[in-house]
Amino acid sequence: MLSIVPQIAPDLKDSPVLLAPRVTYWLEPRVFDERALERLDAPVVRTPHQILVEALLEPSSADLAWLAWEDGSQSVVVARDRMSPLHPSTIGEFPEPPRSPLTINRASRSGAWALWCRSRGILSATVVPVRQKNEIVGTIGLASCTAGSLDDSDLQRVQLGASLAIQARSHELRLSSLRRMFDEVSRTLENALALDRALRLPPTYREIARSVGESLDASYCQIAVRDAGQSITIRAVGGHRPPRRVGSRWTLAKLRRCAQALHERRAVVLTFSQSDVASQPERLALFTPTTRTGVLIPFVAGPRTQGVLILGEERESRCGPLTPERIALLELVASRIAHIMRISRRLEYERLGDRRRQRQLTVERQRLARDVHDEIGQALSVLLVQIRCAIADGNAGPEALKVLEQATSDALNGARTLAFGFRHLERGVGPLEEARAFADTLLRGAQCRLSWTEERVEGRVATRTLREIANVIKEAVTNIVRHAAADCARVRVEYPDGRIRVTIQDNGIGFRLQEARPTSDGRGLGLVGCAERLARVGGVFDIRSAPAQGTLVILEAPRL
């Protein structure tokens, strides 16, 4: 990012960059790297302070204008043009702000600002202090190398600019605060409460509390769950200084503020002080003695599950008033916790149902295997014994009886083989069948309909190829659940010309392919891994998508 500063290195004094007509900005030396030079032709976004200083300089006769802050924030220094006798490089540091507006001319001999102007060849200057709540926080002014070029109208305009600078500063600080909160919550929602964790393993309260505590800027957090007895129990804690209260249980009748948050389903902020008697029960039960500010954020994870996310702040420097925007973002975090718990619980129910159905299927197979072995096998065994007795007694022709014996023996072996196959059928489930079961369970939990079609052809496919393709199908289905927001997904398996081809299509929100590149935080590596998996078996991986047009994934590899 290009930043405007009042000083630059000597080797850059003759290298101004024109960003606006008749206005020259001087750039900080550290931004002149190769990447910055490549972007100099790109449009530069000016801050409100830069626009304000330009507006002061343009109608005046001054050669230079500035806006400087006392807290070390970036100053803005603007020269009229590249041929101006005053350059930002000659300004250096500014003196202490004056208590009242100053007009400096050739006759001014005393004072820090008069000496500062004289040492830099400034013959006329207007300096106005910038005040915020009766406190001087900076200066704004005009400077000229021509004596008498600045008059009272310039002074009035600069005084108006001082008040506008405070408004612009407040606006920028508010935007900066909102950006920090957005980044904080985005980090929490994207990393700490990642949906793929819930899809792989249902998270525990402890894991959720630890993730929230690491992501939110608070001293500690707790997760409490309401039970049927109108009480709440602390299930997990996290953060920098978590209290040791896991398992503690309190009646809601004694915690009126907590009961209010659950009843109204909105956050309740507690500022603890000696005079706030109403919040003392919550402070003794839910917070540490050194907590200065607390927040109770309710969440609903199901018809029978209500909970409270409890945040406590012990640091005095972080105990400023909570804005409505921050409260809304904290409520968004709590709702995400509830969403993760709901979807993980539903997936767990689906997994339990699949295991129950698998057990029932296994029991049925074992019963059928017993019936085949006992009834059919026993009947064939009796027939075989009778045939052998007839052969031994000579009551039948040897050739005819041998044919019957051979047929009966083959039938008996077939029955035994069939019974063995029934008992061990579950061991023959292939990678594609596992991928289909995974996709069905996952998409059903996300309320997304699955359509799976597969061609039936003769000929085998290498086990390694099937395994790699199945893993890529699982990754693609996981991405549909995490990112696509789709309600329908189609998977088709084909076998053209000695190859296996799988297409996976959804009707979700889609994305721009250039945004799917891997980033430093690990996002986007799944697609790279899919391509590498297919490359190992001589296959190809292709993905096609666009915003609002869904996504199509194509996998193709040789069978053998």
pLDDT of residue 56: 92
pLDDT of residue 309: 92
Q: Do 229 and 365 share a structural domain? A: no
CB atoms within 10 A of CB 354: 13
Give dist(CA 336, CA 315) in Å, integer.
26
Q: Do 165 and 22 share a structural domain? A: yes
Is 4 a member of any domain?
Answer: no
Q: Which CATH number fits the domain that encloses residue 514?
A: 3.30.565.10
Kindly tell me if the per-residue pLDDT of 107 is higher than 90.
no
pLDDT of residue 194: 56
3-class secondary structure for 207-269?
A: HHHHHHHHHCCCCEEEEEEECCCCEEEEEEEEECCCCCCCCCEEEHHHCHHHHHHHHHCCCEE
pLDDT of residue 542: 92
- List, edge to edge, every strand of the sheet that includes 249-251: 249-251, 231-239, 220-226, 305-313, 293-302, 268-271
Q: Do 213 and 153 share a structural domain? A: no
Confidence of residue 354 (pLDDT cuts 50, 70, 90): confident
Is 111 a member of any domain?
Answer: yes
CB atoms within 10 A of CB 301: 20
- Residue 554 or 349, more confident: 554
- Per-residue burial over 41-79, b = 16 or more CB atoms within 10 Å of its CB, e = otherwise: eeeeebeebbebbbebbeebebbbbbbbbeeeeebbbbb
Is 85 a member of any domain?
Answer: yes
Amino acid at residue number 158: V
Contact between 144 and 154 under an 8 Å Cβ cutoff? The reply is no
Is 2 a member of any domain?
Answer: no
Kindly tell me if the per-residue pLDDT of 458 is higher than 80.
no
pLDDT of residue 29: 32
Half-sphere exposure of 37 (CA within 13 A, CB side): 6
What's the whole-model pTM score? 0.43
Look at residues 128, 153, 183 and tell me which one is the last residue of a structural domain.
Answer: 183
Look at residues 412, 428, 444 and tell me which one is the last residue of a structural domain.
Answer: 428
- Residue 508 or 430, more confident: 508
Confidence of residue 283 (pLDDT cuts 50, 70, 90): confident
The tokens for 378 are: 């026993």
Q: Do 179 and 46 share a structural domain? A: yes
Q: Do 305 and 223 share a structural domain? A: yes
Is 188 a member of any domain?
Answer: no
* Average pLDDT of the chain to the nearest whole number: 78
CB atoms within 10 A of CB 156: 13
Q: Do 261 and 244 share a structural domain? A: yes
Give dist(CA 219, CA 240) in Å, integer.
5
Q: Do 334 and 294 share a structural domain? A: yes
% of the chain residues with pLDDT over 70: 76
The model's pLDDT over 179-216, given as tens digits with 9 standing for 90+, comes to 777 776 666 666 555 555 555 566 778 888 888 887 77
Kindly tell me if the per-residue pLDDT of 140 is higher than 70.
yes
In the chain, the number of structural domains is: 4
The tokens for 78 are: 């603007």
Confidence of residue 127 (pLDDT cuts 50, 70, 90): very high
pLDDT of residue 2: 28
pLDDT of residue 538: 92
Tracing tokens 């659950």 back to the chain, one arrives at 262
Structural domain harbouring 476: 431-558
Give dist(CA 439, CA 493) in Å, integer.
14
Q: Do 218 and 305 share a structural domain? A: yes
pLDDT of residue 31: 34
Is 440 a member of any domain?
Answer: yes
What pairs with residue 126 in β-bridges? 103, 142
pLDDT of residue 412: 65
Q: Which of 489, 479, 481 is nearest to 516 (CA)?
A: 479
- Taking each continuous run of H as one helix and of E as one strand, the counts in the chain are 14, 18
Q: Do 38 and 167 share a structural domain? A: yes
Is 325 a member of any domain?
Answer: yes
Query: How large is the C-alpha radius of gyration of the chain?
Result: 38
Q: Do 332 and 370 share a structural domain? A: no
Confidence of residue 66 (pLDDT cuts 50, 70, 90): very high
How many residues appear in the chain? Answer: 560
- List, edge to edge, every strand of the sheet that includes 76-79: 17-20, 23-25, 76-79, 64-69, 135-144, 124-132, 102-104
Q: Which of 487, 477, 485 is nearest to 509 (CA)?
A: 485
Contact between 215 and 201 under an 8 Å Cβ cutoff? The reply is no
3-class secondary structure for 399-465?
A: HHHHHHHHHHHHHHHHHHHHHHHHHCHHHHCCHHHHHHHHHHHHHHHCCCEEEEEECCCCCCCCHHH
The model's pLDDT over 14-56, given as tens digits with 9 standing for 90+, comes to 333 333 333 444 433 333 344 443 444 445 567 888 889 999 9
- Residue 62 or 109, more confident: 62
Give dist(CA 301, CA 303) in Å, integer.
7
Look at residues 150, 183, 216 and tell me which one is the last residue of a structural domain.
Answer: 183
Q: Do 372 and 314 share a structural domain? A: no
Is 1 a member of any domain?
Answer: no
Mean pLDDT value across residues 113-136: 90
Mean pLDDT value across residues 337-348: 78
Mean pLDDT value across residues 223-232: 86
Q: Which CATH number fits the domain that encloses residue 307?
A: 3.30.450.40
Q: Do 256 and 217 share a structural domain? A: yes
